[in-house]
A = this chain, B = another copy of it.
């Protein structure tokens, strides 16, 4: 507990924790103050995400690579998962899908591109293990196809009703989860020697003792759940106030908020010339969302959602995920990066953000 307080004192990002009680109080007292709730819930989620990420890594550091990898997969994107679950329960499937697609695109373009850029400002040319990057890119490619094929084939026959789409979505969800599991088996067990340079330690922070990590995990998860509920309820109305389209909010704002903590780790690693770690966080996170979080949400929608959710995204989202994957595939091919590679990748993201920003409100 002392260690936790000491960490909070030394990490200014964690001072934002003060917003957690503010949000929860405001949600009770002023439920109609959407803009206030929106902004303060964003400010509260960021430090909670940082704590969650640190606690997860501390548990993973203790349990060894194999179990740790699984834990990381299950818990690494916990913020995104909880936000999505809150939206899922509210039946806001458009927001769920936008935040899933946005997280994939934001992680594989913005987080990757900014890591390359920030690393490239310090180092002339940076090298990283392209085998690992290619595995992640390959998994992303598979997930993209799982999103692309149903919607492009369904287009040929719009009569292919919702029942079929749902049946197919469940099958694809299971396939993606299996692929994700086999990918871990491959990189952590059968061919782990190819995935070297994984000089763990995650940005140099010392791991917490197990008891503190588990307690933090439990406590923070509950807080994130509570704050996320406020965020999801306020986001659409607040966005209108700011003149943002719902697509922009779901894709860009939610994804940047949900990924704040991972981005901090990825950027710091890039500046320390540990680009393997940055690429691992950025692409690993995108892969987790595409092959684990999204499929799990589809399956969970049968249990907790008002109606089953399918894997069919609106065509624009599929195109963006496809482009993001192609960019990641092409860029990670060489295993070398410079500042300009980072600029190119971020500009692809900027094109998406600009397009979503000017899109009229109904366009989802």
Give the B-binding residues of A (Cβ under 8 A): 124-125, 134-135, 138-139, 141-142, 145-146, 148-150, 152-153, 155-157, 159-161, 164, 167-168, 171-172, 175, 179, 182-183, 186, 190-191, 194, 314-316, 319-320, 323, 327, 329-330, 333-334, 338-341, 343-344, 347-348, 350-352, 354-356, 358-360, 362-364
Contacts and interface: CB of A to CB of B under 8 A. Distances in A.
28 contacts: A138-B330, A141-B330, A141-B344, A142-B344, A142-B347, A146-B351, A149-B319, A153-B355, A153-B356, A153-B359, A153-B363, A155-B315, A156-B314, A156-B316, A157-B359, A157-B360, A160-B359, A160-B360, A164-B358, A171-B358, A175-B347, A179-B344, A179-B347, A183-B340, A186-B339, A186-B340, A190-B338, A191-B340
A156 B347 contact: no
A70 to B, nearest CB: 17
Contacts of A344: 138-139, 141-142, 179
Nearest to A147: B351
Contacts of A340: 135, 182-183, 186, 190-191
A183 B150 CA distance: 34
Contact of A142 (B155, B316, B333, B348): B348
Among A153, A155, A339, A347, chain B packs the most CB atoms within 10 A around the CB of A153
Given A182-B340, A330-B329, A363-B157, A145 B358 contact: no
A354 B176 CA distance: 13
Contact of A145 (B171, B343, B348): B348
A152 B319 contact: yes
Contacts of A362: 157, 159
Copies in the complex: 3
A361 to B, nearest CB: 10
A327 to B, nearest CB: 8
A124 to B, nearest CB: 7
Nearest to A182: B343
Contacts of A172: 351, 354
Contacts of A364: 156
Contacts of A363: 153, 156-157, 159-160
A153 B354 contact: no
A194 B348 CA distance: 24
Nearest to A155: B315
A134 to B, nearest CB: 8
A149 B360 contact: no
A299 to B, nearest CB: 16
